[in-house]
Structure formats: C-alpha cells, structure tokens
Chains A and B, each alone.
Chain A
C-alpha cells in the first residue's frame, strides 16, 4: 500500500510538471530558474506560469477530483457501477439551465449562471431517482439504460431549444469540456467543487452504508433518506459547477471509480482518496494530450476524454463480467 501511494504520488507530480511546462510559450524546463529572477526570461516564465499554467493545472486537478468523486457517489446511490452524472441526465439538466441563461439573460454573472445550472441538475437528478423507484430493476443493465434514455431525452430538449434560438452550432461548443480558456481569475469556482469532494470524504462511511440499500442501511441505524438527499445534492452541485466553468467532461466519473474498485474494493473511506487521485491523473493526462496532438492548436479535452474514457470503459466491461453481476 505504501509503495502504491508513493508510486501514485510520483505519477501525479510528473503529470503536474508536464502540465506546467507544456504550452505555446516556451518555458525553461528547470523549475529552479522560474523563481530566481535571474533574467527577463525567468520573469516572463513566472508570469505565464502564474497567469495561465498553474490556474489551468489546478482547475484540471479540482475538476478531476470532484467529477470522479461525484461519479462514485452516484454509483453508490443508485447501487449500480455503470452510471455517472453524465449518463443519468444530471449534466444534461445543468447544460439546459445554462443554455436557458445564455438565451434569456446572457448578461448574468458567472455565479448566478452556476447556481441556475446547479438547481437544474438537482431537479433533474431528483426526477431520475423518482423514475428509478417506479421501474422494476431486474438486471444491472436497466439502470444505465434508463439513465441513457433519460439523458438523451433532455439532450433532445436542449437541441430543440437551441434550434429555436438558432444556436445549434454554438451549443455544442459551449458545453463541450475545454480548459484552453482557463486563466487566473476564471476558474476559482472550481475550488468549491473540490471542497465538496473533501466534504464527501468526511461523510464517506454514510455513503458506504447507503450503498447496501435502504432496508439494510436503516437496520444499521442510518438515516437513509437524509444521506440520499445529501448525496444527490453533492452530485448535482459538483456537476453544475463543472459544467458552468469548464463544460461537460464525459466518462471520468464512470471509469475512475470502476478502475479503483477493481484494486481497492468498495469501502469509500479507502476508495475515495484513490478515486480522487486517479481522477486527477486521468484528466491531466487527457488535457496534456489535447494540448499536444495538434500543437500549437488545441483539441477540446471532452473529445480526448471521450476516446480514452470509452476505451477504458470497454476494457472494464469486458474484463469485469463477474463484477458487473455482483
């Protein structure tokens, strides 16, 4: 375990370093020269680092942590390993809220837009949970299928609204995950999402119990309804914030908890830190690829994550057949 922790730490450090030095402006690869004020080059490096690279790297880490934690909580709440906020309508509802803001009140501040996105996400997730209660869940495939259909219906609503407003071309650009515009002063709301990830860790035991199901967990003395609502709240707010600040990043919340669960099991208190670290590592890796593949231009990270995430997911599906049935 200690060896794994050190290994994980080194991987994250390496990715953070690469994320800091990869970009259009060439930066001295020796970190010691960044702060020395040795010459003009050093000053410029420091400025680019503090204005652009460090904010982008922090934003990536915060989004990676919060999204993968949100995915894990979602999986616990619906007791199914093949869901995440982007396949259960949560992210779509947040996008719809954001789209309505952009159409009817484009001048709103980012915070208000974010609050609207969170409220829509909350409503949409609640609706999904009510929907699940009315469905006879006979197999593990039902929940993700219902989620996908539900998400697709909301996606159709988004397309309809966008079409009516002649924004069909814009809407996908707006909601596609992309960190290329992250600068100092333009990502700080993500800290709130990151904090929610930490809060989730503090209440991890409750989610582990809730994951056993309503009857079992209530027999063990858990206020199931309260924990359930708390979980929905966490997932919705994290989704709302990330969609409003950096857009939709698919698959992260789906593959990271599954990867981690293969290795450390389902006890959230153990799993959560690993989910957070793996999430941060995966999103950093995808963003570095997004920056390099058509250098000096960029590809939205949502696209890269879609490719890498779906490959990982296929791998998990094919190898973890017994797990899927558990």
Chain B
C-alpha cells in the first residue's frame, strides 16, 4: 500500500513537473508570425538559419544572431565577414542553390524581394518566411520585418533600444529637412544616370525623411510614373531640375566594381551650375546600404545617420 501510494505520488509529481515544463516551453518559445506569403509557427528558436535576404542578415547581425548560410558572393563592406568560412554559400541573391540548402537541413530560411519567387520551392525543403519590403511605407515595413526577426530570436529588448535610436535620428533629420530645399535622388550605373522619385525604392528619403522632391511639385503625373528602376536622364535634366540637394547612389560601387565612378561622372560644368553643387550639397550615399541591403537594422541606422550628418554639416557651414 505504502509502495503504491509512493508510486502514485511520484507519477503525479512527474506529471506535474513535465506538464509545467511543457507549459513553460509553450509560453516562451512558440512564436507564430505572418509574412508576405503566409504564416509560420515555430515551437523553438531556430538555430540553423539560411538567409537569402541581406537586409535580414544585416538585422540578425545587429541582433547578434548567427546564421549558417547565405549568398556569400554578394556581401561586401560591413558584411564582408560573411563572405567566407564558416559561412556556406547558399546560391545568389536571386537563385538559391536548393541542394545545398536541403543538405544543411535548416530550421528557418529567409527570403525577400530578390529571392521571394523561390519561396514555394524553399518552403518545401524547410520552414521559410518571406520578409519582402515593397513600395511605400518603407520605415513601417522595416519595423515590421525587423521586429519579426527580433521576436523569432527573442532579441526584443536589444531591438527596441536600436529602434529608439533610429527614430530619434529620423525626428532630427525631419526637423532639418523641411527647410532644406528640394532634393533629387539619382542612381549612376555604367556611366549612365537614372532619376528616382518619391514612388521609387529610394522614395523614403522624401516621405520618411521629409525632403521635398524636385520631381513632384511641377508635374505630379510624371513623378508618379517613375518606376522602381528609375528613368534615364541627361545632365541637362538635373541642371533644369536644379535641386538644392543631390543624393547619389553609385550602383557600380554597390555591386563591387569601380569606386568613385559617380564622382567622376558628375564632375562636369553642367552639374557645377546646379544649386546642389554650389552649396556643397551633393551627397554620395553608401550604395551598399541604400541599394543592396536597404531595410536592414544597421543599414537603416547608417543611412539615416549619413543623411543627418550631411544636414548638420550644411547647417553648421551656413
């Protein structure tokens, strides 16, 4: 009898403890997230992560989360440490190497924008999320995607701290930019120039950071027609638009070829006649952050900071 009651007590205790653990596990580890192509619930914090999205890599890097594999050929500058061992090359930004991914047996795969068409195929290999950032509402989308990652990897407090810093800087930029005059964003590629409007991938410089655009006021219809890849323009176009601020994204530098090509391209008498040149307000943006990574935590922080510094420098000179 005594033996029996001990058995009962023990089994009840075991059950209780086990139940408690299971319950506790549920509370801290089970995360369910919505992403661009569906929902995913994770019962554990992923430890074998493959990312095809450099923005997510950048955010994970900022949150001290390690990854297993990525497109190692496409990382430069700040992310250069990911270009070799121990990181595995998982393909290109656009084309996953499915066999490598399958062999790695990841518990989370991240795709976005450039790699989002591969979502279905990857999702059949391993749990996959699509963290694409498209069109307007860049900062909102950036917050959503990066907070998703912070949630998945339980790094909320670190994330909140970084986000607060960024929001503070954005507020500072806005306080300067509203009186800073009109701006134009151009991208240089292979010795040619495209203009980007508020509706484009760089448009958040206008609607989030508060610069008015030279393209909107005169001809709204034309401005809204500017696609995500910009429109080819001549030097005369820039001369005629005569922006107070000229923001330059050097695409060739972003993909790792010639540096300083944009500077040489813009060094001509037509550009020298613009207001932006004459008041020293041609800003060469970090092309890796703006063109390749875009919505990463460090990238957004640095992008906002470099615009803020350019504004502060210009104000202090006046």
A interface residues, Cβ below 8 angstroms from B:
23-25, 47-48, 51-52, 102-103, 106-107, 165-167, 170-171, 173-174, 178, 180-181, 183-186, 291, 294, 296-300
Contacts of B235 in A (CB 8 A): 52, 181, 183
Contacts of B265 in A (CB 8 A): 181
Provide the bound-state CA to CA distance between A155 and B256, in Å: 23
Provide the bound-state CA to CA distance between A130 and B309, in Å: 61
Q: Does B222 contact A (CB under 8 A)?
A: yes
Total A-B pairs, Cβ < 8 A: 91
7 A-B pairs within 8 Å (CB atoms) are namely A23-B234, A25-B239, A52-B270, A183-B268, A296-B222, A296-B237, A297-B233
**One of A24, A103, A170, A171 near B240 (C-beta < 8 A):** A24
Q: Please report whether the interface of chain A is mostly helix, strand, loop or mixed according to DSSP.
A: loop
Contacts of B270 in A (CB 8 A): 48, 51-52, 183
Contacts of B241 in A (CB 8 A): 24
Q: How many residues belonging to B are interface residues under a CB distance threshold of 8 Å?
A: 32
B192 adjacent to A173 (CB under 8 Å) = yes
A185 adjacent to B258 (CB under 8 Å) = no
A106 adjacent to B261 (CB under 8 Å) = yes
Not counting A106-B257, A166-B255, a sample of 20 additional A-B residue pairs whose C-beta atoms are within 8 angstroms of each other reads A23-B236, A24-B241, A25-B236, A47-B269, A51-B268, A52-B236, A102-B258, A103-B257, A166-B74, A166-B256, A170-B189, A180-B192, A180-B193, A181-B234, A296-B240, A297-B195, A297-B232, A297-B237, A298-B232, A298-B233
B interface residues, Cβ below 8 angstroms from A:
73-74, 92, 189-193, 195, 222, 231-237, 239-241, 251-252, 255-258, 261, 265, 268-270, 273
**One of B191, B222, B237, B252 near A24 (C-beta < 8 A):** B237
Provide the bound-state CA to CA distance between A167 and B258, in Å: 12
Contacts of B189 in A (CB 8 A): 170, 173
- Nearest B-chain residue to A294, judged by Cβ: B231
- Nearest B-chain residue to A185, judged by Cβ: B268
- Nearest A-chain residue to B194, judged by Cβ: A297
B255 adjacent to A300 (CB under 8 Å) = no
3 shortest A-B CB distances, which residue pairs? A106-B258, A174-B190, A297-B231
Provide the bound-state CA to CA distance between A24 and B232, in Å: 13
